[in-house]
Amino acid sequence: MLRAHSVADVRRAESLAMAQLPDGALMQRAAAGLAAAVTDLLGGTYGRRVVLLVGAGDNGGDALWAGARLAGRGAHVEALLLSDRVHDEGLAALRRAGGLVREDLDGLAAGADVVLDGIVGIGGRPGLRPDAVAALDRFPGVPVVAVDVPSGVDVDTGRLDGPHVRADLTVTFGTHKAAHLIDPASMASGALHLVDLGLDPFLEHAAPVVEALQPDDVRALLPRPGPDAQKYTRGVVGVRAGSGTYPGAALLAVAGATSGLVGMVRYVGPDAVADTVRTAHPEVVGAGRVQAWVVGPGGGDDGAQMLAEARADDVPLVVDADALRHVDGPLPGCVLTPHAGELSAMLDVERTEVEAAPLRFVREAAGRWDCVVLLKGHHTLVADPRGRVRVTTTGVPWLATAGAGDVLSGLVGSLLAAGLDSYDAASVGSWLHGAAATQASGGGPLTAGRVAVQIPRLLRELLAGLG
């Protein structure tokens, strides 16, 4: 499991670790890891032009010490100081290694192979000062490596408030921070590289702000049939989806549900849609007992009735699309799967507010409806009413395509029916959905149907220990 911790917990762990180490040891570990990551990015050091943007705190100190290491290996390093006071020892080390120090933009060379953002780290307030913005503007198209976090983002919430760095790579220290994973700041973080500082023992009891499933976690949680399995013991998922207007949503939700994770799939809906579903998926049967219902995709005006009928069975539900606006009270054990537009309507706030603070609103919704809420987006969030949050880091922007959400709801429903609890079903389903999309995309466009087809192939690789 990949975990992101709060700034307060990082600081606590840092001071416990420092109490057992010589002065400056953590910063040296950070700088060594940073210099190595920059060297990898540049494919070498000798003759490379490196610009350091250096703020007042230890984040600037990391950049200076890393710059000194790079200069020592033949890089041409120039530091722009963005404050009257910067890390003294780091500055002295850079000078000793032959690095150049500038106090204003005018003195700075025109080009660079990489810019290191050591403006602010976990001690920064959101936004950037004009001098930092001007310095960044000086290097259009040059790769930016953020030191610890892209400067200017809100580290604990992933919110943006004013200008901020857009990094190609973020080299972070000790543990991940929420801003690396949570939108919109995650989109400013670029690729992530974690440098181990030995903080793990001191973070053991700190509850993460968010966590992200990794392939081993998903593999361990996947339902698989035992030798005595029969179709009913593996779980039966029911799908109530589709309408005359949106028959395709039923097909896609059923396609997501028939990925092989349950023993049987039932479909209940208009006769004409049911015929189409059974033509495409002959293994799908009609009404009967289920262990979980998926309700809402393409339901149109039937959304309220679909939800009421599914609730009557007293089994866990995945409530999606047209059923979401009919949720009128707590739904313990269930999963709601809105995108930002649907969640904003449910909470009666603007869509832009949800997009600006998805962590806040997904938590609020999970508390309000006493169930798991899966908020779809670039990095989908899954929150439970206890305040736990998982973030999905699999997937590709090509997945933002009509019907992809229908496949997801069917898949999550099948995991619920197979016996996973609602938090695991939602987060594992979202992970698989994104990973299947990445595989199916292969760097190019996707359709929702191709994501569904990819899921059993992905499962096969996961179960074989690949990926």
Ligand X SMILES: Nc1ncnc2c1ncn2[C@@H]1O[C@H](COP(=O)(O)OP(=O)(O)O)[C@@H](O)[C@H]1O
Residues of the binding site:
58-62, 117, 148, 151, 249, 298, 339, 376-380, 405-406
| Known binding-site residue numbers for AMP | 376-380, 405
Q: Which two tokens stand for residue 460?
A: 């096969």
Q: What residues between 69 and 128 interact with ligand NPW by CB under 6 A?
A: 119-125, 127-128
99 or 395, CB closer to ligand X?
Answer: 395
378 binds, among ligand X, ligand NPW, K ion, none (CB under 5 to 8 A by kind): ligand X
Q: Which does 397 bind (CB under 5 to 8 A by kind): K ion, ligand X, ligand NPW, none?
A: ligand X
* Residues of the shown chain interacting with ligand X in the complex, contacts defined by CB under 6 A: 339, 376-378, 380, 395-397, 399-400, 402-406, 408, 433
Would you call 71 helix, strand, or coil by DSSP?
Answer: helix
Residues 143/168, Cβ–Cβ less than 8 Å: yes
Site for K ion in 312-341 (CB under 5 A): none
Are 170 and 146 in contact, with CB atoms under 8 Å apart?
yes
Regarding 413 and contact with ligand NPW (CB under 6 A), the answer is no
Residues 119, 53 contacting (CB under 8 angstroms): yes
Residue 214 CB, nearest approach to ligand X (Å): 18
Separation of alpha carbons 14 and 55, rounded Å: 20
Q: Which of the ranges 46-54, 126-134, 146-154, 197-205 carries the binding residues for K ion, by CB under 5 A?
A: 146-154
Closest CA to 91 of 116, 72, 115, 64: 64
Residues 127/151, Cβ–Cβ less than 8 Å = no
Near ligand NPW in 416-455, by CB under 6 A: none
Partner interacting with residue 403 (select from ligand NPW, K ion, ligand X, none; CB below 5-8 Å by kind): ligand X
Q: How far is the CB of 224 from ligand X (least distance, A)?
A: 24
Q: Which amino acid is at 231?
A: K
Which of ligand NPW, ligand X, K ion, none has residue 117 at its interface (CB below 5 to 8 Å by kind)?
K ion
Residue 164 vs 433, nearer CB to K ion: 164
Residue number, 58 or 406, with CB nearest to ligand NPW = 58
Q: Enumerate the known binding-site residues for K(+).
A: 59, 117, 151
68 near ligand NPW (CB under 6 A): no
5 vs 378: CA distance, rounded Å? 21
Least distance in angstroms from the C-beta of 395 to ligand X: 4
Q: Are the CB atoms for 432 and 411 separated by under 8 Å?
A: yes
Nearest one of 76, 82, 210 to 151, comparing CA atoms: 82
Residues 208-237 that bind ligand NPW (CB under 6 A): none
Name every residue whose Cβ is closer than 8 Å to that of residue 153 and which is 6 or more positions away in sequence.
126, 159, 160, 164, 165, 179, 185, 188, 189
* In the complex, minimum distance from the CB of residue 36 to ligand NPW, in angstroms, rounded to a whole number: 15
Of 454, 447, 438, 457, nearest to 248 by C-alpha is: 447
Check if the beta carbon of residue 392 is closer than 8 Å to that of residue 427: yes
**Angle value at C-alpha 337, between 331 and 338, nearest 5 degrees:** 110
Site for ligand NPW in 174-193 (CB under 6 A): 174
Footprint of K ion on residues 92-131 (CB under 5 A)?
117
302: partner contacted, choices K ion, ligand NPW, ligand X, none (Cβ within 5-8 A by kind): none
Residue 27 binding result from ligand X, K ion, ligand NPW, none, given CB thresholds of 5 to 8 Å by partner type: ligand NPW
The answer to whether residue 167 forms part of the interface with ligand NPW (CB under 6 A) is no
Strand partners, 78: 51, 100
Min CB(105)–ligand X separation in Å: 34
**Calpha distance 211→359 (Å, rounded):** 12
Of the candidates 156, 169, 178, 187, the residue with the CA atom closest to the CA atom of residue 117 = 169
What secondary structure does DSSP assign to 259-306, as a single string? SSSSSEEEEES-HHHHHHHHHH-TT-B-SS--SEEEE-TT-GGGHHHH
Interaction mask 149-178, K ion, x per CB under 5 A: --x---------------------------
Residue with tokens 């000790």: 174
> Does 148 contact ligand NPW by CB under 6 A?
yes
- Binding residue ranges for (6S)-NADPHX: 58-62, 148, 249, 298, 339, 406
Q: Nearest to residue 459, comparing CAs of 397, 415, 413? A: 415
**What residue ranges bind K ion (CB under 5 A)?**
117, 146-147, 151
**What residue ranges bind ligand NPW (CB under 6 A)?**
10, 14, 26-27, 30, 55-62, 119-125, 127-129, 147-148, 173-174, 197
